[in-house]
């Protein structure tokens, strides 16, 4: 299991049929917009990890680092930079209308979903939710 987000056009077959009626170039523009937004989300997620928003949401208390489900300072998601550097777009760009942003590191899912000792940091889910309107707008504008 990897930490990943994936977005795609719902009702894909109907959408493709409608786009085919107005031309293959529109079909390609929508596909390009989906993939372009995937690359943009890689940047958004990497920025989210690097800004260490976790510390902002949960300020570090005085004293040593604390770890636990009760909150407190958990520590940043960036230590060596390996996690941040592992975020990328799935290399299978042949799948039309799908963008999958992921980290294949074994511990990425623990940072994303949390464990019994650390709460979820949601570096993938939260930015996707925050950017959904922008993604929809970019796709819609690609066919205008």
Q: What is the pLDDT of residue 7?
A: 64
Q: Across-strand partners of 5?
A: 101
Q: Is the pTM of this model over 0.75?
A: no
Q: What is the pLDDT of residue 40?
A: 93
Q: Which of 53, 68, 79, 80 is nearest to 114 (CA)?
A: 68
Contacts 24+ apart (CB under 8 A), 117-122: 117/67, 117/68, 117/69, 118/67, 118/69, 118/74, 119/69, 119/71, 119/74, 121/54, 121/77
Tell me how many domains the chain contains. 1
- Note down pLDDT in tens along the chain; length 144 residues: 566 666 666 666 777 677 677 777 778 888 888 889 999 999 999 988 887 544 445 454 555 444 444 444 455 677 778 888 999 988 666 677 788 889 988 888 888 888 887 778 888 888 888 899 999 899 889 888
Q: What is the pLDDT of residue 78?
A: 72
User: What is the span of the domain harbouring residue 44?
Assistant: 3-142
């Amino acid at each position: 299991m990897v930490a990943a987000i994936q977005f795609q056009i719902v009702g894909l077959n109907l959408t493709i049929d409608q786009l085919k009626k107005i031309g293959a170039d529109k079909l390609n523009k929508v596909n390009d917009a989906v993939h372009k937004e995937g690359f943009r989300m890689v940047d958004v997620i990497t920025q989210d990890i690097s800004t260490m928003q976790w510390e902002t949401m949960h300020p570090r208390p005085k004293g040593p680092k604390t770890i636990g489900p009760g909150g407190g300072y958990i520590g940043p998601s960036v230590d060596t930079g390996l996690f941040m550097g592992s975020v990328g777009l799935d290399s299978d760009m042949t799948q039309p209308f799908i963008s999958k942003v992921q980290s294949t590191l074994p511990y990425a899912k623990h940072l994303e979903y949390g464990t019994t000792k650390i709460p979820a940091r949601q570096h993938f889910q939260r930015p996707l939710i925050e950017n959904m309107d922008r993604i929809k707008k970019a796709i819609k504008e690609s066919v205008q």
